[in-house]
Chain A
Amino acid sequence: MPDTYDVAVVGAGPAGLAAAVESAAAGLGVVLIDAAGQPGGQYWRHYDENHARPDDRRGHHGWSTFTRLRERLDALTATGRIRYLPGHQVWLVTRDENGAFTLQLTPTTSTRVDGAEEAGLSRAETARALILCPGGYDRQLPIPGWDLPGVMAAGGAQALLKGHRTLAGRRAVVAGTGPFLLPVATGLARAGASLAAVVEANGTLGWLRDPVGAMSVPGKGVEALQYAALMARHRIPYRRGTVIREILGEGRVEAVRIARVDRVDGRLAGPEEEIAADLVALGWGFTPSLELPLMLGAETRRDVDGSLVVVVDDLQRSSVDGVYVAGEATGVGGAALAVAEGRLSAVALGVALRRTPESSRRAVVAVIGRLSREIRRGRRFAAAMHRAYPVPVAWTRWLSDSTLVCRCEEVSYGDLVRAHRDLGAEDPRTLKMLARPGMGWCQGRVCGFATAEISACLSRRETTAEDLRPLSTRSLAVPVTLGELAALADDLPGN
Chain B
Amino acid sequence: MTADLVVVGAGVVGAAGAYFASLAGLRVVVVERGALAGGTSSAGEGNLLVSDKEAGPELDLALYSQRIWREDLGEHAGLWEFESKGGLVVAASEHGLASLRELTVHQRRYGVEVRDVARAELRDYEPHLSDGLAGAAFYPQDAQVQPMLVVAHLLRLAREAGALVRTRTEVVGFLRDGDRVTGVRTTGGDIPAGAVLNATGTWAGGVADLAGVHVPVLPRRGFILVTEPMPSRTIRHKVYAAEYVGDVASSDAALQTSPVVEGTGSGTILIGSSRERVGFDRTVSGKAIGTLAAKAIALFPMLREVRAMRTYLGFRPYCPDHLPVIGPDPRAPGLWHACGHEGAGIGLSAGTGKLIAQALAGDGPDLDLTPFAPDRFPEPEEALR
Flag whether B231 is at the interface (Cβ < 8 A): no
Query: Smallest Cβ distance from B359 to chain A, in angstroms?
Result: 27
| Interface of chain B: mostly helix, strand, loop or mixed | mixed
Query: Smallest Cβ distance from A472 to chain B, in angstroms?
Result: 13
Query: Smallest Cβ distance from A434 to chain B, in angstroms?
Result: 6
Assess whether B309 is in contact with A443, with CB atoms less than 8 Å apart: yes
Residue from the list A424, A427, A439 in contact with B156, Cβ < 8 A: A424
Find chain B residues with CB under 8 A from A485 CB: 225, 289-290, 292-294, 308
Find chain B residues with CB under 8 A from A295 CB: 284
Contact with A along B307-341 (1 / 0, CB 8 A): 11111100000000000000000000000000000
Residue from the list B42, B284, B304 in contact with A482, Cβ < 8 A: B304
Flag whether B305 is at the interface (Cβ < 8 A): yes
Assess whether A434 is in contact with B306, with CB atoms less than 8 Å apart: no
User: A440 CA to B307 CA in the complex, in Å?
Assistant: 13
Query: Smallest Cβ distance from A263 to chain B, in angstroms?
Result: 36
User: A232 CA to B130 CA in the complex, in Å?
Assistant: 66
Assess whether B229 is in contact with A441, with CB atoms less than 8 Å apart: yes
Q: List 19 A-B contacts (CB under 8 A).
A: A94-B284, A424-B36, A424-B152, A424-B155, A430-B35, A430-B148, A474-B310, A475-B311, A479-B307, A482-B227, A483-B293, A483-B297, A485-B290, A485-B294, A486-B290, A486-B297, A488-B289, A492-B290, A495-B255
User: A486 CA to B257 CA in the complex, in Å?
Assistant: 13
CB under 8 Å from chain B, chain A span 446-495: 474-476, 479-483, 485-492, 494-495
Tally chain A residues at the interface, Cβ within 8 Å. Answer: 40
Flag whether B236 is at the interface (Cβ < 8 A): no
Find chain A residues with CB under 8 A from B176 CB: none
Tell me the nearest residue of chain A to B168, going by C-beta.
Answer: A426
Assess whether A483 is in contact with B305, with CB atoms less than 8 Å apart: yes
Query: Smallest Cβ distance from A2 to chain B, in angstroms?
Result: 15
- Among B227, B286, B287, the one with the most A-chain Cβ atoms within 10 Å of its Cβ is B286
Flag whether A422 is at the interface (Cβ < 8 A): yes
Residue from the list B36, B153, B294, B297 in contact with A430, Cβ < 8 A: B36
Tell me the nearest residue of chain B to A422, going by C-beta.
Answer: B156
Find chain A residues with CB under 8 A from B309 CB: 441, 443, 476, 479
Flag whether B358 is at the interface (Cβ < 8 A): no
Flag whether A78 is at the interface (Cβ < 8 A): no
Assess whether B304 is in contact with A475, with CB atoms less than 8 Å apart: no
Contact with B along A223-259 (1 / 0, CB 8 A): 0000000000000000000000000000000000000
User: A433 CA to B38 CA in the complex, in Å?
Assistant: 10
Residue from the list A441, A481, A491, A494 in contact with B255, Cβ < 8 A: A494
User: A430 CA to B155 CA in the complex, in Å?
Assistant: 14
Interfacial residues, chain A to chain B (CB-CB below 8 A): 92, 94, 104, 112, 295, 409, 419, 422-427, 429-430, 433-434, 436, 439-441, 443, 474-476, 479-483, 485-492, 494-495
Find chain A residues with CB under 8 A from B229 CB: 440-441
User: A475 CA to B308 CA in the complex, in Å?
Assistant: 10
Flag whether B228 is at the interface (Cβ < 8 A): yes
Assess whether B296 is in contact with A434, with CB atoms less than 8 Å apart: no
Tell me the nearest residue of chain B to A93, going by C-beta.
Answer: B284
Given contacts A475-B310, A489-B291, 14 further A-B contacts (CB under 8 A): A423-B36, A424-B152, A424-B167, A430-B37, A443-B310, A479-B309, A480-B308, A481-B306, A482-B271, A482-B305, A486-B304, A488-B290, A490-B294, A495-B255
Query: Smallest Cβ distance from A470 to chain B, in angstroms?
Result: 10
Assess whether B303 is in contact with A482, with CB atoms less than 8 Å apart: yes
Find chain A residues with CB under 8 A from B296 CB: 482
Assess whether B310 is in contact with A476, with CB atoms less than 8 Å apart: yes
Flag whether B165 is at the interface (Cβ < 8 A): yes
User: A441 CA to B310 CA in the complex, in Å?
Assistant: 10
Query: Smallest Cβ distance from A481 to chain B, in angstroms?
Result: 5
Assess whether A423 is in contact with B153, with CB atoms less than 8 Å apart: yes
Query: Smallest Cβ distance from A211 to chain B, in angstroms?
Result: 43
Assess whether B308 is in contact with A481, with CB atoms less than 8 Å apart: yes
Interfacial residues, chain B to chain A (CB-CB below 8 A): 35-38, 42, 148-149, 152-153, 155-156, 165, 167-168, 225, 227-229, 254-255, 266, 271, 283-284, 286-287, 289-294, 296-297, 303-312
Assess whether A480 is in contact with B307, with CB atoms less than 8 Å apart: yes
User: A204 CA to B189 CA in the complex, in Å?
Assistant: 51
Assess whether A481 is in contact with B266, with CB atoms less than 8 Å apart: no
User: A422 CA to B307 CA in the complex, in Å?
Assistant: 34
Assess whether B266 is in contact with A423, with CB atoms less than 8 Å apart: no
Find chain A residues with CB under 8 A from B304 CB: 481-483, 486
Tell me the nearest residue of chain A to B303, going by C-beta.
Answer: A482
User: A425 CA to B34 CA in the complex, in Å?
Assistant: 11
- Among B37, B292, B297, B307, the one with the most A-chain Cβ atoms within 10 Å of its Cβ is B307
Known: A482-B297, A486-B293. A476 touches B155 (CB 8 A): no
Tell me the nearest residue of chain A to B167, going by C-beta.
Answer: A426
Assess whether A489 is in contact with B155, with CB atoms less than 8 Å apart: no
Assess whether B290 is in contact with A495, with CB atoms less than 8 Å apart: no
Assess whether B36 is in contact with A425, with CB atoms less than 8 Å apart: yes
User: A440 CA to B228 CA in the complex, in Å?
Assistant: 8
User: A481 CA to B302 CA in the complex, in Å?
Assistant: 11
User: A94 CA to B229 CA in the complex, in Å?
Assistant: 27
Find chain A residues with CB under 8 A from B38 CB: 429-430
Assess whether B35 is in contact with A482, with CB atoms less than 8 Å apart: no
Find chain A residues with CB under 8 A from B266 CB: 409, 436, 439
Assess whether B308 is in contact with A489, with CB atoms less than 8 Å apart: no
Find chain A residues with CB under 8 A from B255 CB: 494-495
Assess whether A423 is in contact with B167, with CB atoms less than 8 Å apart: no
Find chain B residues with CB under 8 A from A474 CB: 310
Find chain B residues with CB under 8 A from A423 CB: 36, 149, 152-153, 156
- Among A94, A434, A487, the one with the most B-chain Cβ atoms within 10 Å of its Cβ is A434
Assess whether B148 is in contact with A434, with CB atoms less than 8 Å apart: yes
Q: Which 8 A-B pairs have the closest CB atoms?
A: A489-B290, A485-B293, A488-B290, A486-B294, A423-B152, A479-B307, A483-B304, A433-B148
User: A409 CA to B297 CA in the complex, in Å?
Assistant: 27
User: A423 CA to B312 CA in the complex, in Å?
Assistant: 23
Known: A426-B167, A488-B290, A494-B255. A482 touches B311 (CB 8 A): no
Find chain B residues with CB under 8 A from A430 CB: 35-38, 148
Assess whether B293 is in contact with A482, with CB atoms less than 8 Å apart: yes
User: A436 CA to B254 CA in the complex, in Å?
Assistant: 34
Known: A424-B36, A425-B36, A489-B287. A481 touches B305 (CB 8 A): yes
- Among A422, A429, A479, A482, the one with the most B-chain Cβ atoms within 10 Å of its Cβ is A482
- Among A94, A489, A494, the one with the most B-chain Cβ atoms within 10 Å of its Cβ is A489
User: A494 CA to B292 CA in the complex, in Å?
Assistant: 14
User: A325 CA to B36 CA in the complex, in Å?
Assistant: 34
Assess whether B286 is in contact with A488, with CB atoms less than 8 Å apart: yes
